[in-house]
Structure 1
Amino acid sequence: MPPNGHLSPTSRDSYKACDLSQAEATMLFKINPELAQLIKEKDDIDYYLEQNFKGLSKEEVAAHRNSYKKSICVDMLRDGFHKSFTELFALMEQWDKLRQAAQARSLFWQQRPLEDQPDKLDNFYHYLTRAEAAERKEYYEEVYNNLYALACYFDNSEDKWVRNHFYERCFNIAQRIKFDGGKKEAEAEAHMGLLFEEEDICWELLKAAEHYEAFHELTQGRLWKDDTGQFLNLVACESLVRTYRLLSDRMLENKDYKQAIKILIKASEIAREGNDRSMEGEASYYLGLAHLASGEYETALAVLDRYSEISTSLDDDLSLGRAYEAIAKVLQSQGETEEAIKYLEKLVIIARNNLQSLDMIRACTMLGDIYNEKGQYSKASEYFQQAFSTAMELMKMALMDETKVHYGIARAHQMMLTMKGYIESADPNSLNCLLSWKETRTQIEYDPILERI
């Protein structure tokens, strides 16, 4: 191609075969000289074959000789969709780079090349060209709909980066749609929030919160619904509460209790605004745990009592069990073990009735620890045994090992207390019991009178 950027007469003649104008062909050379030259050579060959083999058209020859990917690219250029071609070509290059990087990391990575997936190429062609045609007419809602259709098509773990690309395109286009009151813009903010939320990194979560806040603001006072019939404002509240909770988890990990509590208070306010009692209760639960972590026990109890009331009003036993467990932890931290025991015993009943084995194991282990510390080893053994038996039913080795150790320690304490009592009694019966145990090494009979009550 000459330095002035214009095509020679010979080149112009060659491009007539694929219906590219002088300006279009020049643009193609600027976009990608190598591909443009390849198309020129291909068209020269196709023209020769068409003239010399009358039974085949140029399109039929190209269909049998070219890869499907190349045919899609050529069709886009021939039909005048240069922006679509540029975007698709950039995506294909990125696709190849990601494939190569993934293959270098794992020998078991099996994603197929894009050229081996004609359905995806068809969708690219169909929606990109329609979006470009609509954009020329300034039909921005149609542009948005076609780009969003592509985002939905690529919404899977393998192609998520492609979905995210089109989420960003939708976000940019949505700013130009004015006649719908901002609904498309709100939806685009939600998609961008999801994009950043999935990264699950602190600064990415902050970006997600910004987009969800914009989503929430745009939907306030609106009766818009999504495709499932759910109000967008409620979706915004749920998304914002969820993201605030994820952010608070990072803050609590860094022991930044003040900021974690601050953002969870915002989450509680948003949850109340959403008029969803379940979401409000969930927000109260995490706020209570944050107060517990920071040592603000009275505040934690007040917030968790609120969660308990909401769970009771909703007749939600599982949430009520979580509330009892959290309240018991606060009471235990305050040294009020008798009150903590009452809540944990309620949790055991709820867990047993609802077949919540893991809750059962946690509650029994907590009760066993409390009774072990109080020196009531028979009670401790009883609860540790329940925890161990439940873990055996689940066949979870890690839990079985953990609960077995607790149970063994409690039984050892129980035996030591009995032995100590017999030794201190120093009467013939006690001596006979000790001698009998020494000869047989079997389980010594426990005397509950010796245990401190």
Structure 2
Amino acid sequence: MNAAVTKRQTGRFLPEITPKSNKRRKGTHYSRMKQEDSLGSGSSPLISRGEISQFRNSPKQNICVQLLREGYPRAFSEIFSLLAADRDRRDAAEPGSDLRLQTPLDRQLDKLETMKRHLSRAEEAERTCSWMVVCDQRLMLGWYFSAPEDLWLSLHFFHSCTDREQGSHSRPATEARVCMAETYLKLGELERARQQAELCLQQVEDAGWADSDGRPLRLRACEALWRIYSRLADAPLEAADHDQGLKLLYKGYGMATECRYTSQYTRAYEYFLQGYEVACELGDVALLQKAQVLVASARAHSQIWKFRADVESASPPALGRLIAWKERGRQQGLYR
């Protein structure tokens, strides 16, 4: 029995590894290493964690993470706030309204990437106190969001140019101000439009700036004010407040004179003719005389600019109109 126990104790606990099994394991290990090398060599590249997140996360998450990783916390905060504002607007809208049917801002990748690009550039410019560049980048965003459903974003970025402490009197910020006036006019917010256009006119008084298309900002502000005053005159005229209506029409005429446009003088003439008819009904002699002067002046200017346009054009139809105008003058005895 002792011999049997001794034999069991001296026996191996694990079976012997034969050369054949060793060769098999070596081959398995080698093939596994070869597979890993091939995966890392580029023949079948591994996907990184960041790349996987691009597919798993929403556009909003990806944009926000990128901004934080690249070191733009202010741009991240602004975009995050705008997304929250968009969500609040949609929640407050009536069920079935156009706003509810629109695609949420956080799902519109092109708009998010555009905001990311320009806001990150603006933040870089802030670090070097390049305030004109800051306003220029924000002005571009205001232009970009020009669709009717995006006007709230357009106004946000225009205001971010004009309401800031630094750069608010730069050329891009002044252009943003007249853009705001035009946007408020589209929305029918006439008092806000008037305020912005008048401030723009003050800022460009001696600067001689042009907008991004090369058009004088003063001219653009005058044109906006002409349209705004004309719209503002509608309410008092409808309420029979003729004095206030004529006062606003006169301001509009002054802006049309500044603009020096063939169509704006004609429009001013139409408004003053309306005021003249109102003065006739009232029988107010002083008001009637003032209205007559305004009508005659606007009519004369409209005719002068038509004549000038025809002279500069020198086209066959324009020459025909000039000859006819001369013949009428000769028949009326204005000249020989």
Q: What TM-score range do you get, normalising by the shorter chain?
A: 0.5 to 0.7
Further displaced range: 77-86 or 187-196: 187-196
Structure-to-structure mapping, 1:386-397, within 5 angstroms: none
- Asked if the contact 1:291/1:297 (under 8 Å) is kept, the reply is yes
Q: 2:127 aligns with which of 128, 136, 151?
A: 136
- Asked if the contact 1:131/1:146 (under 8 Å) is kept, the reply is yes
Letter in 2 for 1:226: D
- Asked if the contact 2:122/2:137 (under 8 Å) is kept, the reply is yes
- Identify the residue that residue 167 of structure 2 maps to in structure 1: 177
- Asked if the contact 1:216/1:236 (under 8 Å) is kept, the reply is yes
- Identify the residue that residue 211 of structure 1 maps to in structure 2: 196
Matched, 1:271 2:256: yes
Q: Which stretches in structure 2 are left out of the alignment for 5+ residues?
A: 1-44, 308-336
Q: 2:142 aligns with which of 131, 144, 151?
A: 151
CA pair 312-141 structure 1, distance change in 2 beyond 3 A: closer
Letter in 2 for 1:125: K
Q: 1:193 aligns with which of 181, 184, 192?
A: 181
- Asked if the contact 1:151/1:164 (under 8 Å) is kept, the reply is yes
SS of the counterpart of 1:229?
coil
How big is each residue's C-alpha offset from its partner over 1:145-196, in whole Å with a ceiling of 9 and x where there is no partner?
21112111111112111111111111124x5238xx8423421321232243
How big is each residue's C-alpha offset from its partner over 1:418-440, in whole Å with a ceiling of 9 and x where there is no partner?
xxxxxxxxxxxxxxxxxxxxxxx
- Asked if the contact 1:73/1:85 (under 8 Å) is kept, the reply is yes
Q: 1:166 aligns with which of 147, 153, 157?
A: 157
What is the TM-score normalised by the length of structure 1?
0.51
Matched, 1:290 2:281: no
SS of the counterpart of 2:214?
coil
Separation in 1 of the partners of 2:306 and 2:133?
Answer: 46
How big is each residue's C-alpha offset from its partner over 1:251-286, in whole Å with a ceiling of 9 and x where there is no partner?
212222111112222222233234445434432431
Separation in 1 of the partners of 2:59 and 2:290?
Answer: 65
Separation in 2 of the partners of 1:138 and 1:57?
Answer: 37
CA pair 86-70 structure 1, distance change in 2 beyond 3 A: same
Separation in 2 of the partners of 1:185 and 1:150?
Answer: 12
Separation in 1 of the partners of 2:213 and 2:229?
Answer: 24
Separation in 1 of the partners of 2:149 and 2:92?
Answer: 14
- Identify the residue that residue 312 of structure 2 maps to in structure 1: none
Separation in 2 of the partners of 1:64 and 1:264?
Answer: 59
Letter in 1 for 2:120: T
- Identify the residue that residue 123 of structure 1 maps to in structure 2: 114
Q: How much has 1:244 moved relative to structure 2?
A: 0.9
- Asked if the contact 2:262/2:306 (under 8 Å) is kept, the reply is no
- Identify the residue that residue 297 of structure 2 maps to in structure 1: 306
- Asked if the contact 1:72/1:121 (under 8 Å) is kept, the reply is yes
CA pair 127-158 structure 1, distance change in 2 beyond 3 A: same
Q: 2:223 aligns with which of 231, 235, 238?
A: 238
CA pair 75-315 structure 1, distance change in 2 beyond 3 A: closer
- Asked if the contact 1:289/1:300 (under 8 Å) is kept, the reply is no
Structure-to-structure mapping, 1:346-365, within 5 angstroms: none
Q: What's the RMSD between the two structures over aligned residues?
A: 2.7
- Identify the residue that residue 236 of structure 2 maps to in structure 1: 251
Separation in 2 of the partners of 1:269 and 1:114?
Answer: 42
Q: How much has 1:93 moved relative to structure 2?
A: 1.4
Among all aligned residue pairs of Structure 1 and Structure 2, give the percentage whose two residues are the same amino acid. 30
Structure-to-structure mapping, 1:66-85, within 5 angstroms: 66-85=57-76
- Asked if the contact 1:148/1:167 (under 8 Å) is kept, the reply is yes
Q: How much has 1:233 moved relative to structure 2?
A: 1.5
- Asked if the contact 2:125/2:134 (under 8 Å) is kept, the reply is yes
- Asked if the contact 2:265/2:299 (under 8 Å) is kept, the reply is no
Q: How much has 1:299 moved relative to structure 2?
A: 4.3
Letter in 2 for 1:140: W
Separation in 1 of the partners of 2:183 and 2:306?
Answer: 35
Structure-to-structure mapping, 1:15-54, within 5 angstroms: none
Letter in 2 for 1:65: R
Separation in 1 of the partners of 2:242 and 2:123?
Answer: 50
- Asked if the contact 1:182/1:218 (under 8 Å) is kept, the reply is no
Letter in 2 for 1:231: P
Q: How much has 1:222 moved relative to structure 2?
A: 4.1
CA pair 110-56 structure 1, distance change in 2 beyond 3 A: same
- Identify the residue that residue 389 of structure 1 maps to in structure 2: none
Matched, 1:262 2:253: no
CA pair 252-123 structure 1, distance change in 2 beyond 3 A: same
Q: How much has 1:227 moved relative to structure 2?
A: 2.9
Further displaced range: 265-274 or 105-114: 105-114
Q: How much has 1:240 moved relative to structure 2?
A: 1.1
Q: How much has 1:79 moved relative to structure 2?
A: 2.2
Separation in 1 of the partners of 2:177 and 2:92?
Answer: 31
- Asked if the contact 1:272/1:280 (under 8 Å) is kept, the reply is yes
- Asked if the contact 2:139/2:172 (under 8 Å) is kept, the reply is no
Letter in 1 for 2:252: A
- Asked if the contact 1:171/1:192 (under 8 Å) is kept, the reply is no
Between the two proteins, the alignment pairs up a number of residues equal to 257
CA pair 162-83 structure 1, distance change in 2 beyond 3 A: same
